[in-house]
Structure 1
Amino acid sequence: MAAPWVYIKDLKEHVGESVCVKGWMYNKRSSGKIHFLQLRDGSGTVQGVMVKGEVPDEQFDAAKGLWLEASLEVTGVVRADSRAPSGVELTVADLKILQNPSEEYPIGKKDHGIDFLLDTRHLWLRSSRQNALMKIRNEIIWSWRCFFHDRGFMLMDSPILTGSIGEGADGLFELDYFDQKAYLAQTGQLYAEAAAMAFGKVYCFGPTFRAEKSKTRRHLTEFWMLEPEMAFYDNKMNMQLQEDLVVDTVKNVLANCEKELGALERDVEPLEKVVAGPFYHLNYRDAVRKLNELGSDIKFGDDLGADDETVLTQQYDRPVFVENYPKDAKAFYMKANPEDNGETVVCSDLLAPEGYGEIIGGSQREEDYGRLLNRMKELKMNPADYDWYLDLRKFGSVPHSGFGIGLERTITWICGLPHIREVIPFPRTIYRLKP
């Protein structure tokens, strides 16, 4: 009877049993009559000990010629080993080589430049560091979906091809759509608003696109964003939901990704502070004054740039909401602030600490048809392009709010990375479309 196929992460449950592990060899060393095969299968890693005389001679000899990333089926007995990272090792009894590369694996133990690693991203994903990052990404995605599902939100997918501009014309990817122009979606928000008027609490989650020619460590041209919309929510309720989401996310990563954070050498003390206390709130005007005191030349009316966000968040040990930006610095759909003569809008950006800056942008939406139409005309927008969006204010309009949280920026902050490009499987930037 053939040994059962077992994933490496489950080997501890099979100590003393003969099992089959299917995977790849990521390292190997030999000592005379023993081969030490380091195996990975995506779920974990384990050492297979192959002793001459305990396996057929042709198998032992074949193992000498294995290249890195050879694909293998290894059968053997699981032995407990407290010294091993996996807690077990495999005493090899049989080796089946599925494919042994005909040339040396291009990513070796030596240091490689980032451009080379990104050019070979399809292979770099196999490394231990990338394994840790992708597992944390997966944990955060699952955490977000569970958070909204448990709170009664409905997932509503928004289109990637759209005829409506959500965040300004400067950052659009335009394409021909039969006999008309279309754009890659910058946001799913407008469609989520329509769904919120039908179902109350909804969210969309998918890829979004920005054609900004930005080279900063925070920007991608294609990234993933989760965007909830809630009927009958004001912006205070909106901000509380954002805080609850971020705290829940950090808690789950700390609880379920300890090994991965350790592999990234992430100091978790700053993350523990995020969970421990309430977030800070700062009015935009106060943020400008504080930045001026810290040496920035920002003035009222300017949006906070990346450098401003970095300086500002270095002053706080937990995330900070910057509220009530000037209306001309923000999108057309945001509600005018009645407490500020309409000079500002009822909105907030949530900035992550440690210099990471904005991870969430949110606002209360303008629910009044006339005020929204007038604002669109002020900005020389064509109302006919948004007739369906304006309809939402004509038929049962209610106060409502929402936000967008960037997945990759959130991962970058939680993992403590210097650049966003590693936290998405295949990054797209202004210079990179391959692989």
Structure 2
Amino acid sequence: MKITIAEVSKHVEEEVTMGVWLANKRSSGKIAFLQLRDGTGFIQGVVVKNDVEENVFQKAKSLSQETSLFITGVVQQDNRSKFGYELLVKNIEVIAEAKDYPITPKEHGTEFLMDHRHLWLRSRKQHAVMKIRNEIIRATYEFFNEKGFVKVDPPILTGSAPEGTSELFHTKYFDEDAYLSQSGQLYMEAAAMALGKVFSFGPTFRAEKSKTRRHLIEFWMIEPEMAFYSFKDSLEIQEQYVAYIVQSVLQNCPVELERLGRDISKLEKIKAPFPRITYDEAIQFLHKNGFDDIEWGDDFGAPHETAIAESHDKPIFITHYPTKIKPFYMEPDPNRPEVVLCADLIAPEGYGEIIGGSERIHDYELLKSRLEDHHLSMDAYKWYLELRKYGSVPHSGFGLGLERTVAWISGVEHVRETIPFPRLLNRLYP
């Protein structure tokens, strides 16, 4: 019977066959221990010299790292291992031998591992991070489907930019200018006017020359937009969503979190509601804590966000930023037009902003004046402006950066480990 490692609990004391790779091995006299993986998990295969034919035992001892195999054996419970099962090997069939595998159990530098990212993905740590990423994606679809949202796919090639073109990748679209999308938001607003509550999940691109541990050139975003939703309504959806994906990872990825050494007690506290402070209060807090360089009207950098986040054990909303430092489409506070109805959600433990969101301007004349103030093309944004012309309604939305969220939940230091093939300032290979 051919099974995967993930299925072994259903086949205790049964003889099974699995397609696997050899992650590592060790032997002690008459026993060989094979660390096996198949993509669904890891299991130890035990080859006892006296229980197998001599050629099988010799084959087990001579196997090289990452050689692919069909391996046959009996599944046994093993309370000594964290996985809980092992395979008592009966036979080994080599599919393809791997010679001189470059990533060995010794320490390697980051650049070396990034050059071999196509192979580094096979390691236990990277496997765990990718499984957590997958669980967050799965839980995202589950959450929004249960809330009645419709999945919509905005274009990746666009003729305009939601936040200006200074950080966009330019390309030629036949005889027109085009850009790789930095956000699907504007198109999602159009979709919300047709379908009510929508969300997208797709790649976005920022031509931002940043080398911090929080930045990627290509990353994935979840972007919901909601018709008839106020700024306050949107904050409630955001905190429910983030709490939901954290709890889903806790429930469904305990092995992966343990493998990464993640302190799950910190994640267990992530339940709605989340604390909220205004931008004004954040400035006051920073001044009291030695950040004399920040002034009202400045945007926050990583040190500022980290200091604010460290005062709480949950993500924290910073609301009502100055209008002048936020994009043109954000609704001004009716009681204080110098600030907008927006919020950034800052993750704990120094992982920075994971969500940016706002209520969107729904008044035609106000949006038109904002476009003019930002010197944006009326022709390029004609369709976007028309959303306010034909049955405009109050509406809100937000965008969650997947890789930063994966980094925070899994506890890894740098976002380059949270996407299969990261695109960084000086890295387009592999």
TM-score band by shorter chain is over 0.9
Deviates more, 1:9-18 or 1:144-153: 9-18
Say which of 337, 350, 354 aligns to 2:349. Answer: 354
Structure-1 separation of matches of 2:10 and 2:330 = 55
The answer to whether the 8 Å contact 2:236/2:273 transfers is no
Say which of 406, 422, 425 aligns to 1:430. Answer: 425
Counterpart for residue 5 of structure 1: 2
Shift of residue 88, structure 1, vs aligned partner: 2.3
The answer to whether the 8 Å contact 1:44/1:86 transfers is no
Say which of 61, 65, 84 aligns to 1:64. Answer: 61
Q: 1:73-103, CA deviations, whole angstroms, 9 ceiling, x for partnerless residues?
A: 01122222222333222222221000111x2
Shift of residue 300, structure 1, vs aligned partner: 1.3
Q: State how 1:327-338 maps to structure 2 within 5 Å.
A: 327-338=323-334
Say which of 88, 95, 100 aligns to 1:98. Answer: 95
Counterpart for residue 402 of structure 1: 397
Counterpart for residue 23 of structure 1: 20
When the two structures are superposed, what TM-score results if normalisation uses the length of structure 1? 0.96
Tell me the C-alpha RMSD between the 2 structures.
1.3
Counterpart for residue 379 of structure 1: 374
Whether 1:413 aligns to 2:415 is no
Q: 1:375-412, CA deviations, whole angstroms, 9 ceiling, x for partnerless residues?
A: 11111111111111111011111000000001111111
Deviates more, 1:135-144 or 1:305-314: 305-314
Change (3 A) 1:52 1:274: closer
Say which of 211, 226, 232 aligns to 2:228. Answer: 232
Say which of 275, 287, 290 aligns to 1:295. Answer: 290
Q: 1:40-60, CA deviations, whole angstroms, 9 ceiling, x for partnerless residues?
A: 111122222223354343333
Structure-2 separation of matches of 1:383 and 1:156 = 25
Counterpart for residue 154 of structure 1: 150
The answer to whether the 8 Å contact 2:277/2:319 transfers is yes
Identity of counterpart residues, as a percentage?
A: 54
Q: 1:292-331, CA deviations, whole angstroms, 9 ceiling, x for partnerless residues?
A: 2212211111111122111111111211111111111000
**Aligned partner letter, 2:190:** A
Q: State how 1:239-388 maps to structure 2 within 5 Å.
A: 239-275=235-271, 278-296=273-291, 297-340=293-336, 342-388=337-383
Q: State how 1:80-95 maps to structure 2 within 5 Å.
A: 80-95=77-92
Q: 1:6-34, CA deviations, whole angstroms, 9 ceiling, x for partnerless residues?
A: 11121121122111011101111223333
User: Which stretches in structure 1 are left out of the alignment for 5+ residues?
Assistant: none
Structure-2 separation of matches of 1:381 and 1:357 = 30
Structure-2 separation of matches of 1:316 and 1:29 = 46
Change (3 A) 1:63 1:416: closer
Structure-1 separation of matches of 2:383 and 2:174 = 21
The answer to whether the 8 Å contact 1:24/1:41 transfers is yes
Q: Secondary structure of 2:234's match? A: helix
When the two structures are superposed, what TM-score results if normalisation uses the length of structure 2? 0.97
Counterpart for residue 144 of structure 1: 140
Structure-1 separation of matches of 2:297 and 2:39 = 49
**Aligned residues, how many?**
429
Q: State how 1:28-39 maps to structure 2 within 5 Å.
A: 28-39=25-36
The answer to whether the 8 Å contact 1:21/1:75 transfers is yes
The answer to whether the 8 Å contact 1:312/1:355 transfers is no
User: Which stretches in structure 2 are left out of the alignment for 5+ residues?
Assistant: none
Shift of residue 35, structure 1, vs aligned partner: 2.2
